Amino acid sequence: MAEEKKKKVSIAVFSGDMDKLLAAFSIATGAAASNMDVSMFFTYWGLRALKKKVKTGQSLFGRMLGFMYGGDINRATPSKMNFGGIGRWMFKKMMKAKNVPSLADLRQTAIDLGVKMYGCQMSMEVMEIPKEKMIDDVAECVGVAFYIEHAQQADVTLFI
């Protein structure tokens, strides 16, 4: 019953950018640590945050997309000043120097704190990223109706 009264956060994670994912996972872990019930819905580019380090895509376009936007969460690049990967390396250095946890660490903390992670069925199909190519901690692959159901009961709703 106390469980029922937990405040809820619903985060739609559209972006796969390193900096936006850092913001998303920081908010998610912070909210979970504050005893809130947190759900993250990953869609489009955000799906990278849940991918294993494997190839994806079946059709020509799907394979191209998998090639160009491939890899796992560690391949995420900052939304600005990436300069072909230099920016990512630079940010990782700066984060390490300040003892800020990496994206992969933040995701693990979110999992450990019970943050629920869902993949958006439709964008998984369009981008040809099947569930078996995603990390085992993905709770479910769901449709927009499922997201709406969660969002309308949430106290905090964000689109990142």
Q: Which residues bind its own copies (CB under 8 A)?
A: 7, 9-10, 12, 14, 19-20, 22-23, 26-27, 29-31, 33-34, 36, 43-45, 59, 61-62, 64-65, 68-69, 79-81, 90-91, 93-95, 97-98, 100, 122, 125-128, 143-145, 147-149, 151-152, 154-160
Q: Which two tokens stand for residue 7?
A: 């405040």
Nearest distance from C-beta of residue 152 to its own copies, angstroms: 5
Q: Which of 39, 48, 57 is nearest to 17 (CA)?
A: 48
Our CB check for its own copies shows the closer of 2 and 145 to be 145
Nearest distance from C-beta of residue 103 to its own copies, angstroms: 13
Our CB check for its own copies shows the closer of 54 and 64 to be 64
Q: Decide if 149 contacts 2 (C-beta within 8 A).
A: no
Provide the pairing of β-strand 140-142 with 156-159: unpaired
Our CB check for its own copies shows the closer of 66 and 136 to be 66
Nearest distance from C-beta of residue 41 to its own copies, angstroms: 10
Q: Decide if 49 contacts 18 (C-beta within 8 A).
A: no
Our CB check for its own copies shows the closer of 90 and 135 to be 90
HSE, side-chain direction, 13 A CA sphere, residue 134: 23
Biggest CA–CA distance in the chain, Å, is 51
Q: Decide if 22 contacts 29 (C-beta within 8 A).
A: no
Nearest distance from C-beta of residue 151 to its own copies, angstroms: 5
